[in-house]
Chains A and B, each alone.
Chain A
């Protein structure tokens, strides 16, 4: 009995190692490629004899990644802040006041989650051109906020309904606090777990956004990481070693954050997925 269970454990551990190795293959290939000198077309399975670190500095300069990093950070930061403020504020009455209007509005926001933003690409593009917001940080921020607001409201409303005791707010109301005061001073601080989830969802998806960015941020000065990388790939199709270096730089910020805050990332993204 004991013998078979240790044997089973060993076999399963080996399976786990094989799975892990399999999942590292593309990253291994990416790293070897990024270290090869220009014109080195040797197999991507082997590391070059001399590592050309200069690929990284060259990619950084040529693909204008510093600028792209700045743009991506600005857009992600402001979109996340707006999502948290506008989303939590909207969720509060929808969770607490069951009027007919509010029930309808809650259904409205939930239904919007099903609309794929790209299905309205043509008119959205036209709208952005008409209001003169092409190639601005603001349009990337607004589009992402609109796209993730329904999910944000859904998460906040669910949390307020299930975990924030009504008595707290009633006590505050008797003390004469205003609705805004109750919300921002009493309810909002208790929403930290959802706020963390929203923040992580926003960071991952908005940081990685390509669907909006490729349409609305084509100008070099406002390009985000993904757009900069895709145009760099177009210009360097014959020099993939440089592209690999650029790809590593582009994914590094998120990877580092993930490795440090893994627990929160997994929890946050899982709660975001439970929107079905």
Chain B
């Protein structure tokens, strides 16, 4: 009893002594100030500064440089390497997205059945997700390398010629897509698996009574109800694929020539190997624009599908 009185008294005291309306409607902005400063200083400021540098001929280390207007931009648009690199980046982004989703969905459908070794399969497929993409690249390098690679041993046993998979400009891009898919298919699989497990069994039972085939059930029940998972996976994989860097460094280093260069590795090359910082910054702006357009349109497109479904 007396305790309550004391507490009530304390409350009154608080109300009187503290500022009126204790922060009830204030933004409490000081709580996110540290986060804001981190992001502003290490992401927003460099990003804006990058736009400024893209209008210069800075070489990356000297104090002196000139503003040269849109020259780097016209250079970029007329540089055949730009379009090669953009094409590669799109292949990495779109290719990885298609394969990761198709394979991830198939694996999820399989693991959603009552079969043996389910847990082992899930663990093994998922494991590469937690390994550094750089290391994953080296691991597959042992497989695809021209000299002493595991793949060429098999080809020779079967009586075929050795192939220089990583040195062939028509092939190396697809190998990088393959390795990236291999590494991250586990995430797509898990997201689809969660989606599948949330679909109620009742739908399938009703469909079975109506005599729907398994394919019809998949097309008319499973797929529409998986739309949210598909959205997540698509957007995620596109962004991941377009940003590809580590795997390319460890598998081909962007070569031979510029044949497997992505926008990230090309920028790295321009800045550090060719001392062309102004131009590298311009490529950075282009990369930003492409990622923004693609990921936003993927998001909008699949969100709309979700509503329809």
Contact = CB atoms under 8 A, between A and B. Distances in A.
Partners in one complex: yes
Interface of A: 9, 12-13, 15-17, 19-20, 23-27, 29-30, 33, 41, 43-45, 86-87, 89-94, 96-97, 99, 101-102, 105, 109, 112, 114-127, 142-143, 145-147, 149-150, 153, 173-176, 179, 183, 204, 207-208, 210-211, 214, 225-226, 229-230, 233, 240, 243-244, 247, 250-251, 254-255, 257-259, 262, 265-266, 269-270, 273-276
A154 B129 CA distance: 22
A92 B245 contact: no
B253 to A, nearest CB: 10
B38 A146 contact: yes
Interface of B: 7, 10-11, 14, 22-23, 25-29, 31-32, 34-36, 38-39, 41-47, 49-50, 52-53, 60, 107, 110-111, 113-118, 120-121, 123-136, 138-140, 142-143, 145, 148-150, 153-154, 182, 187, 190-191, 194, 231-232, 234-236, 239, 242-243, 245-246, 249-250, 264, 267-268, 271, 277, 280-281, 284-285, 287-288, 291-292, 295-296, 299
24 contacts: A20-B125, A23-B124, A89-B34, A89-B35, A90-B34, A96-B28, A102-B29, A118-B264, A118-B268, A119-B50, A119-B284, A122-B284, A147-B42, A175-B11, A176-B14, A210-B245, A229-B134, A230-B250, A258-B130, A266-B190, A270-B191, A275-B236, A276-B236, A276-B299
Contacts of B190: 266, 269-270
Contact of A118 (B41, B111, B140, B267): B267
A16 B234 CA distance: 25
B131 A255 contact: yes
B39 A149 contact: yes
A12, A96, A176, A266 — most chain B CB neighbours (10 Å): A266
Task: Classify the interface of chain A: helix, strand, loop or mixed.
Answer: helix
Contacts of B284: 118-122
B288 A250 contact: no
Across the A-B interface, the 5 shortest Cβ-Cβ residue pairs: A276-B235, A208-B132, A90-B32, A146-B42, A90-B35
B28 A97 contact: yes
Given A89-B34, A255-B127, A27 B49 contact: no
B237 to A, nearest CB: 10
A33 B142 contact: yes
Contacts of A89: 31-32, 34-35
Nearest to A113: B239
B39 A273 contact: no
